[in-house]
Amino acid sequence: MLRENVSLQAYNTFGIDVQARWFIEIDSLTRATEFLVDNLNAGQDVYILGGGSNLLLTDDLQGLVLCNRIMGKEVVKEDEKHVYLKVGAGENWHELVLYCLAQDWGGIENLSLIPGCVGAAPIQNIGAYGVELKDVFVELETLSLATGNPRRFDANACGFGYRDSYFKRTGKGKYLITSVTLRLNKAPHQLNTSYGAIEAELAQQHDGPYTIQNVSKAVIAIRQSKLPDPAEIGNSGSFFKNPVISASAFGELQAQHPSVPHYPQSDGPVKVPAGWLIEQAGWKGKRIGDYGVHERQALVLVNYGRASGQDIFALSEEIMQSVLDQFQIQLEREVNVW
Ligand code: FAD
Ligand code: NAP
């Protein structure tokens, strides 16, 4: 049902209270197609909402917010080594991970406990602990917001990059993703445990050999120990991307800051954790009224209660400027600002 003047506070993990002029939840492909075709001439802006966990809402939205709740899981192909699973874009991502683990299908266990919906996962090519969506991605289906026509995208057409895709660039705001098909692995599984604290966390659990279910539990435990739960403190996860800078720029940075953590990329540039830069610039744990920088994770901006999206946006500007002044590195926001 189309509703008017709806508060979006419960629909974004920052808990920002702005209103949508028009709001509709859609739970089937047929309904989505009908709705888009019927509204083609309405001429209003359309905002697609999943779980609202990668958003900063800075003002009331005058257009239409379409909340995607298209559900369903279907094995569309299977061979000796893989299962091809087509998933409705409105399914919850973490519940999908748990479902796959229950079937003993591997590939997304390192992406446990990421909030949000399946349809948003390709938008920024979600990633964590050394795995990205693109590693298991086969294709996705969309409806054009301009025509209501269906279009299928393979991995190449999605143009995946580091927390990036075609849908954050030229395809931004043009499509409703309705399903995503993943290629999952059958046993025996290859585990990806080289990243961060996974091995240490696994060793605490038991002696091994380890399973994909163990890896998921380890990732969940690490995340719960480090990240604020949006149900308790409003946040959108990492607010900024980790900058990837040229080898020569990194050489200069390291000469001035020998202890800078860094991760060389295969093709030459170097990734520097944005959280480290923000912490060095003195922001970690800083609180201004009802908003601030999380005390355990400098990459996460938080809403302690009644902050506005504009407060948090202004804080992000200040952080970016101070990192630029101190390190000559331009941070980029990861969250989508509306
Ligand atoms: P939303 O916030 O609703 O939308 C995000 C963007 O995608 C918007 O531009 C929206 O228009 C678009 N969109 C959403 N659904 C569709 C659709 N069906 N069709 C077209 N466009 C759509 N991200 C990571 O990559 N790795 C992490 O480890 C991670 N950890 C997080 C931890 C916490 C505590 C939080 C709060 C966030 C974290 N995130 C992480 C960010 C976020 O969870 C992901 O980006 C997630 O994929 C967003 O899903 P969503 O459904 O909430 O998207
Ligand atoms: P962390 O382990 O404290 O590491 C800090 C940063 O260094 C990470 O962001 C990560 O970059 C990079 N890093 C660490 N080990 C690496 C390795 N072996 N190879 C390459 N890069 C490495 O990070 P964290 O904050 O606790 O997060 C853990 C994982 O969850 C990360 O992958 C992070 O991206 C993901 N996460 C994402 C969000 C989000 O909203 N996007 C929120 C929470 C956690 P990468 O980020 O590039 O991996």
Residue ranges, the chain, pLDDT below 70: 41
Could you give the percent of the chain with pLDDT greater than 90?
A: 92
- Asked if 332 is an active-site residue, the reply is no
Q: DSSP letter string over 66-130?
A: EEE----EEEEEE-SSEEEEEEETTSBHHHHHHHHHHTT-BS-GGGTT--SBGGGTTTTT-EETT
What pLDDT is recorded for position 196? 77
Q: Give the CB-side neighbour count of residue 239, counting CA atoms within 13 A.
A: 28
C-beta of residue 46 within 8 angstroms of C-beta of residue 38: no
CA of 8 to the centre of ligand 1 (A): 16
CA distances from 54 to 9, 15, 143, 280, 327 (A): 14, 12, 21, 25, 26
- Asked if 25 is an active-site residue, the reply is no
What pLDDT is recorded for position 205? 87
Coil, strand or helix at 200: helix
What pLDDT is recorded for position 69? 97
For ligand 1, residues with CB inside 6 Å are 13, 48-55, 68, 89, 114-117, 119-121, 123-124, 126-128, 163, 175-177, 227, 230, 235-237, 336
DSSP state of 305: S
pTM of the model: 0.96
What pLDDT is recorded for position 189? 97
What pLDDT is recorded for position 243? 97
Q: Whose CA is nearest to atom 11 of ligand 1?
A: 48
What pLDDT is recorded for position 272? 98
